[in-house]
Structure 1
Amino acid sequence: MLLSLKHNFLFVHIAKTGGTSVRAALSRYRYRGPWGVPLFLADKLDQISGHRIGAKFPRHAKAIAAREMLPAELYDNLFKFVFVRNPWDLQVSSFFHIRRERPHVLEGVESFEQFVKLKFDPEREWNYMLDTSKELQRDYVTDMSGRCIVDFIGHYESLQADFDTACDRIGIPRIALPHRRKAEGRDDYRRYYTDETARIVEAHYRPDIEMFGYRFDAPAP
């Protein structure tokens, strides 16, 4: 999550949706304005304490966390935006990311099929790398009643165009997104699935599929 009080926006960062590139593009606006120094100090103190003092929103905090913590008038006046991604494509991205960044998490896992079965195994122990990208994207943008509480939902499949729209809404110049953590050597996501693993992902992400209009055979809604 990235908050700018001077430019009046809140970016809600869902894992594996291009958010690292969005954060990199918007980081220059984070500490501007009269509240910039307190925000910067709170960020650094939280890092020094090992995130024990809760002085900032976690990287992948949900919109409802900001709504509960910020004054209602402030939250309502922020431009709140987020990016979502085809759930089947997201799992392929997660597989390559974990295999590259934290290979020990996938020890003994040789294929994407094994990865899906491990990730959605209800009996396994909790693991940050597996479970962060297992959360429903819908939960990042809704309140406890299921009502959408963000102003703009962009899509990974049209990331630059939708980010341009967000920049226009914020009132800042459009920025070419840098390519951060871009996967190399991967094929079209549909080639990694069997009928069984496609159904596993569909069953888990049905609320996302219904809310954002995704289908297995079409990467964009």
Structure 2
Amino acid sequence: MILCHTHNLIFIKTHKTAGSSVEVALESICGPQDVVTPMKTDDGGETKSRNYHGRSRVSTLYAKNKFVRKFISRTSHLVAPYYWEHMPAQRVRALMGSSEFDRYFSFCFERNPWEKVVSYYQWKTIGQGRKLDSFRNWIQQKPHRLPKDGKLWSDGGQQMVSCVLDHRNVEEKLQEVLQELGAPSIGTLPREKTKPGKSRGDYRDWYDQDTRNAVAKHFAFEIETMGYRFDDPAPDRPIVRRS
């Protein structure tokens, strides 16, 4: 995620929505006092992370040591403030304070969940080499593993971020957001974590009626908010702004 005080901007990073590419692009316009969470890039490097953990010894140790992170929650007061990659807007708001959070422009990208689930499954199995069950069994038996990102940009069914944008035409939409804020243009959007290894084909071909219904059930909030459909020919979706 990105918390950019320089341009009063908060980016909540969701899964399989070009979030890594957006994060790399936004990092380039952040200043020394802004918050950039760590992320490995495709070239083997890392983003120039900064200010994502507190200055106490415990917080610093927690940020640098995976073993310590197994025993302390990242929301614990022992390590606060602590910001991480796929961080819920609700937690960002709690750390910033409600008035400051609401004053900033916060946004994220979403994706047709039937398409997103296929992309996520392929990223795990091919991009990361995970040994998962068949696509059908994985959806039916591991619903807690699905990339249900509505919880990142909402709380109790209420949208927390200023706006949710569909990930199609992501570069154009990001440029519009930056222009609205008077922030510098980022140029061509870099491509990060976008090539799992082979084409997945048409996402609709991955589904039978049971798995199609399962995704509709588990992503009901995202589907209702964004107006998604399984067989979705629309080239784009409108921006959904916080009421």
Q: TM-score range by the shorter chain?
A: 0.7 to 0.9
Structure 1 residue 95 corresponds to structure 2 residue 121: yes
Name 1:198's counterpart in structure 2: 212
Shift of 1:74: 1.6
1:34/1:96 CA distance change after superposition, 3 Å: closer
Q: CA RMSD in A?
A: 2.7
Match 2:141 to one of 118, 142, 147 = 118
Structure 1 residue 81 corresponds to structure 2 residue 107: yes
Q: Which sections of structure 1, spanning at least 5 residues, go unmatched?
A: 121-125
**1:167-203 Cα deviation digits (max 9, x unpaired):** 1123223322111111332212112111221111111
Q: Which sections of structure 2, spanning at least 5 residues, go unmatched?
A: 37-48, 73-78, 238-243
Q: Are the counterparts in 1 of residues 11 and 107 from structure 2 also a CA contact under 8 Å?
A: yes
Q: Are the counterparts in 2 of residues 79 and 169 from structure 1 also a CA contact under 8 Å?
A: no
Name 2:46's counterpart in structure 1: none
Q: Which amino acid aligns with 1:87?
A: P
1:162/1:35 CA distance change after superposition, 3 Å: closer
Name 2:44's counterpart in structure 1: none
Q: Are the counterparts in 2 of residues 22 and 177 from structure 1 also a CA contact under 8 Å?
A: yes
- Using the alignment, how far apart are the partners of 1:147 and 1:186 within structure 2? 33
- Using the alignment, how far apart are the partners of 1:211 and 1:83 within structure 2? 13
- Using the alignment, how far apart are the partners of 1:13 and 1:61 within structure 2? 7
Name 1:173's counterpart in structure 2: 184
Shift of 1:70: 0.9
**1:136-164 Cα deviation digits (max 9, x unpaired):** x33222233x3322112111123122112
Larger helix percent: 1
1:34/1:182 CA distance change after superposition, 3 Å: closer
Q: Could you say what secondary structure the match of 1:82 adopts?
A: strand
- 33-42 or 147-156, which moves further after superposition? 33-42
1:199/1:34 CA distance change after superposition, 3 Å: closer
Q: Are the counterparts in 2 of residues 138 and 211 from structure 1 also a CA contact under 8 Å?
A: no
TM-score by length of 1: 0.81
Name 1:71's counterpart in structure 2: 97
Q: Are the counterparts in 1 of residues 14 and 108 from structure 2 also a CA contact under 8 Å?
A: yes
The within-5 A match list for 1:50-69 is 50=66, 51=69, 53-69=79-95
Q: Are the counterparts in 2 of residues 12 and 80 from structure 1 also a CA contact under 8 Å?
A: yes
The structure showing larger relative contact order (alpha-carbon pairs under 8 Å, at least 6 residues apart) is: 1
Count of aligned residue pairs for this structure pair: 206
Name 2:26's counterpart in structure 1: 26
1:166/1:193 CA distance change after superposition, 3 Å: same
Name 2:4's counterpart in structure 1: 4
